[in-house]
Each structure stands twice: as structure tokens, then as C-alpha cells.
Amino acid sequence: MAGRFISFEGIDGSGKSTQARRLAQALSDLGHSVVLTREPGGSAGAEEIRRLVLEGETDRWSAETEILLFTAARRDHLEKTIRPALARGDIVISDRFADSTRIFQGITRGDLTQTVDSLHALMIGVEPDLTILIDLDPAEGLARATARAGKEMRFEDMGLAFQTLARAGFLDLAKRHDRFRVIDGARIPDLVAEDVLGAALAGAMAR
Ligand code: ADP
Ligand code: TYD
């Protein structure tokens, strides 16, 4: 498991943060050094960018400007948090990574896939070893996300059609890349967590 990079993806409210936290706890209980982090954010500079992109009106930024902002945040996160942790041999668990940009900026508001992929190749260039996609019906996800509503609602405010496109996009991405494991998020957290830990441990054995 040493030096492994695991990301969690899914629509808003799918239960990623809950499951990322639980996996981090389970792996540290097994004696591993774990760094639990998140995007946008995960380093001081990236957390500042987080506020810019998640708060305010839905039309505050175009999809193109968002690609630049999320990628800038990711570059700082990679330099300051992810690379040093992997170099120490820690397991890095990130609540979202580049697949979120591929989906939320790349396909939900027109096809910007090429732009996202080019900028990723130029500025980031790494993928997780394992990506856990927590799959959930978008109406259920929005209901959960709205129930805990705070200031960071810019993407939730884009609505059900937006989250529906995002869910389909994530499932399609998962089909095309071996690093994905798709886990049904419409169950009690304990059952979801069991599958998540199973996927993380199976991935490590296969290496
Ligand atoms: P995400 O990070 O994907 O937005 P969270 O883990 O923050 O999701 O969960 C969103 C909300 O749904 C939280 O209030 C959380 O307590 C709740 N929640 C998480 N997992 C489940 C689950 N399996 N079933 C029901 N509610 C859940
Ligand atoms: P997150 O804090 O994971 O929110 P949630 O817990 O509601 O899923 O992510 C905040 C929002 O940022 C989420 O709506 C998705 C969006 N996002 C992008 O649009 N592009 C990105 O590259 C990332 C990392 C997040």
C-alpha cells in the first residue's frame, strides 16, 4: 500500500467525504500512514481558490475559467501535499481529483474534454492508482447535499439536469479506465464502507 494514491469521485452528496474519511480511518487502524485530503483544496493556496470557485452565483465563472482555477488549485495541492506524502511512502486519499474536472468542467456545459485533457497533461500529469466512484441517483444526492446546505452551493445550484449529466459522465469514464471501481452509494454507510475497503485492499494485492 505504501505510496499509493486513491481518489474518491461522484456527484455531490453521493457520500464520498464520509467514505474517504472512513477508509482513511480503516487503513490507519491497519497501521498505514495515511494522508486524507480533498479538492478543491488540500493545501493552503488551493483552499483559497476553493472559496472562489464554490461560493457565489452559478454564473460567476465560465466553464473555461473554472478549468484554469481548478487546475491551478490542483497543481498547488500536488506540489505541497500529494507529491511529498507519496515520496514519504504514505497512502494519499483525496476526496475528488482530476476526474471531477473532466466531468464538471469537461462535459456538463458543452464539450471541453480536449481543453481539460491538454491542460491536465501540461500541468498535472498524474492519475490515482485507484479511483473509487460512489454511484448514486442524482435526486438522492441533491437531497442529501441540500440538507447540509451551507455557503458552498454553487454547483448544487446548477440543478438536477447538471448532476444527472455528471453521473452519466462518471460512469462512462469508469468504463474506460481500469483504475476505477464503481460502488453503489444507495446503501447504509457501513455496507458502502465494507466495499470501499475491499476495493482498496484488493487493489493493493493486485500490484
Ligand atoms: P459528498 O462528499 O459526496 O458530498 P457526504 O459524505 O458529505 O457526501 O454526504 C452527504 C450527506 O449525506 C451528509 O449529510 C452525510 O451524512 C449523508 N450520507 C453520507 N453517506 C450516506 C449514506 N450511505 N446514506 C445516507 N446518507 C448518507
Ligand atoms: P466537494 O467539496 O467534493 O462537494 P460535495 O461534497 O458537495 O461533493 O466539491 C465541491 C464542488 O466542486 C462539487 O460540486 C464539484 C466541484 N468540482 C468541480 O466542478 N471541478 C473540480 O475539478 C473539482 C475538484 C470539484
With a 6 Å cutoff on the Cβ, whether 40 touches ligand 2 is yes
User: Is residue 92 predicted with pLDDT exceeding 90?
Assistant: yes
- Other beta carbons within 10 angstroms of residue 179's beta carbon come to 16
With a 6 Å cutoff on the Cβ, whether 17 touches ligand 2 is yes
Average pLDDT over residues 181-200: 98
188 CA distance to ligand 1 middle (Å):
10
Of 91, 104, 83, nearest to 165 by C-alpha is: 104
Which domain range does residue 41 map to?
Answer: 5-205
Residue 61: what are its φ and ψ, rounded to 5°? -125, 150
| pLDDT digits 0-9 by tens, 27-75 | 999 999 999 999 999 999 999 999 999 998 989 999 999 999 999 999 9
- Other beta carbons within 10 angstroms of residue 142's beta carbon come to 20
Say if residue 40 is preceded by a cis peptide, omega within 30 of 0: yes
Domain count, the chain: 1
Q: Grade residue 154 by pLDDT with cuts at 50, 70 and 90.
A: confident
pTM: 0.96
Residue 133: what are its φ and ψ, rounded to 5°? -100, 115
- The residue whose CA is least distant from atom 14 of ligand 2 is 155
With a 6 Å cutoff on the Cβ, whether 5 touches ligand 2 is no
Q: At what angle do helices 113-123 and 63-77 cross, to 10 degrees?
A: 20
CATH number at residue 106: 3.40.50.300
- The residue whose CA is least distant from atom 5 of ligand 2 is 12
**The predicted structure's pLDDT at residue 10:** 97
